[in-house]
């Protein structure tokens, strides 16, 4: 059985064989997250087939260059500092923006060096049903081939058909999770044969390209009445899973999970996941995910899966607070930072 993630990130990045010297290489580019207030955080660069995270991560005290020209060239991961960025925001036409100054932001309990763009400011993104709205847009400097994932409404016919097809796969993963990770400390309030018949809830569904055809990234949950403590019985216990859904053999739906956990109805002890953008590369689509919890946030780059094992590329920390993690962390995939082909 594969591991499905353990603590916040697995120390395993897949090394690919070096491309032949004569093979054409795509031009370099850099990606940045863009907040509603115009703050831009470069998160990863791609050059000659390699992904890197050259921009400095969060620190206790950020050292901010006075001008953009004062940034070390190595921070960009490009031959020169980028002047123009293409901003991609859900529901909007891509447009060109420029960074006009350096700044820093509070990122959980740390400080993060960032850029600011007056051109990129926009009205606050809000979800009409009150759900978590997208936190960021994505800006690209360089000729990257990017796709924003398509949001599938949880109540749509497409979502219902997907959930019906996932019932068996979810049941299998849930039984394995309880048997391997949780039964010593957690006993579900519902017997296994009855659990299998309970419906699934889609917290979010995003569609996008994969290596084996159209792919979904899903957040799934199943709730159970809480046994204890008495003062929290209003809040159900929840089985949470996130990962990709692919069409398998015999037209079945297969799951490639990055998270599975038992948490509360508040989802306060597990790491949630949301895709931001999908980048086409010579090796196939790369999904860039926001992995967040109350005390931390990271950006994970994953190769679009083709089997049951996730294919991590690298991770980029956004911010964290020390000493606030739950006593028992969810079962998560650890990822390395740094440079990975």
What would the mean pLDDT of 261-278 be, rounded to a whole number? 91
Say what percent of the chain tops pLDDT 90.
55
Give φ, ψ of 216 to 5 degrees.
-115, 145
Residue 309 bridge partners (DSSP): none
CA-nearest of 156, 181, 168, 270 to 219 is 270
Q: What is the mean pLDDT of the chain?
A: 83
Q: pTM here?
A: 0.84
Residue pointed to by tokens 């440079």: 339
Task: Determine the pLDDT at residue 185.
Answer: 63
Reported as a single tens digit per residue, the pLDDT across 25-58 is 778 999 999 998 899 999 999 998 899 999 999 9
Residue 5, sorted as left (phi over 0), alpha (psi -120 to 50) or beta, turns out to be left
Is the pLDDT at 127 greater than 80, yes or no? no
Say what percent of the chain tops pLDDT 70.
80
Reported as a single tens digit per residue, the pLDDT across 188-214 is 777 777 888 888 999 999 999 999 888
In terms of pLDDT, which residue wins out, 36 or 244?
Answer: 244
Question: Contact 39/22 with Cβ under 8 angstroms?
Answer: no
What would the mean pLDDT of 103-122 be, rounded to a whole number? 93
Task: Determine the pLDDT at residue 200.
Answer: 92
Reported as a single tens digit per residue, the pLDDT across 146-198 is 999 999 998 899 999 999 999 999 999 998 888 876 656 666 777 777 888 88
Task: Determine the pLDDT at residue 161.
Answer: 92
DSSP per-residue string spanning 259-309: EEEEEETT--SS-EEEEEEEEEETTEEEEEEEEEETTEEEEEEEEPPSSSS
Reported as a single tens digit per residue, the pLDDT across 85-96 is 999 998 889 999
| Adjacency order of strands within the sheet including 296-303 | 145-147, 272-281, 284-293, 296-303, 311-320
Is the pLDDT at 231 greater than 60, yes or no? yes
């Amino acid at each position: 059985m594969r591991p499905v993630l353990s603590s916040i990130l697995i120390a395993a990045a897949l090394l690919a064989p070096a491309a032949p010297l004569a093979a054409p290489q795509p031009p370099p580019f850099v990606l940045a997250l863009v907040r509603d207030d115009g703050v831009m955080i470069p998160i990863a660069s791609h050059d000659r087939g390699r992904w890197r995270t050259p921009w400095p991560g969060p620190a206790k005290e950020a050292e901010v260059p006075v001008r953009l020209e004062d940034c070390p060239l190595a921070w960009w991961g490009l031959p020169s500092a980028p002047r123009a960025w293409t901003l991609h925001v859900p529901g909007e036409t891509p447009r060109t923006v420029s960074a006009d100054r350096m700044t820093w932001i509070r990122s959980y309990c740390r400080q993060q060096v960032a850029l600011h763009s007056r051109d990129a400011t926009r009205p606050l993104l809000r979800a009409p049903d009150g759900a978590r709205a997208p936190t960021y847009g994505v800006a690209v400097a360089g000729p990257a081939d990017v796709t924003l994932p398509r949001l599938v409404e949880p109540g749509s016919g497409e979502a219902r058909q997907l959930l019906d097809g996932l019932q068996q796969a979810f049941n299998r993963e849930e039984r394995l999770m309880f048997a391997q990770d949780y039964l010593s400390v957690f006993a579900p309030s519902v017997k296994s044969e009855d659990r299998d018949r309970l419906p699934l809830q889609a917290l979010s569904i995003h569609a996008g390209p994969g290596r084996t055809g159209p792919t979904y990234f899903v957040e799934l949950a199943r709730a159970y009445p809480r046994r204890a403590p008495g003062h929290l019985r209003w809040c159900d216990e929840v089985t949470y899973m996130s990962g990709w859904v692919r069409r398998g053999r015999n037209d079945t739906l297969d799951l490639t999970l990055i998270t599975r956990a038992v948490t509360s109805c508040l989802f306060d002890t597990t790491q949630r996941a949301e895709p931001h953008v999908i980048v086409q590369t010579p090796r196939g689509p790369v999904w860039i995910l926001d992995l967040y919890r109350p005390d931390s946030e990271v950006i994970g780059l994953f190769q679009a899966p083709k089997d049951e094992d996730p294919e991590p590329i690298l991770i980029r920390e956004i911010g964290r607070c020390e000493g606030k993690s739950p006593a028992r962390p969810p079962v998560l995939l650890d990822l390395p930072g740094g440079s990975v082909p």
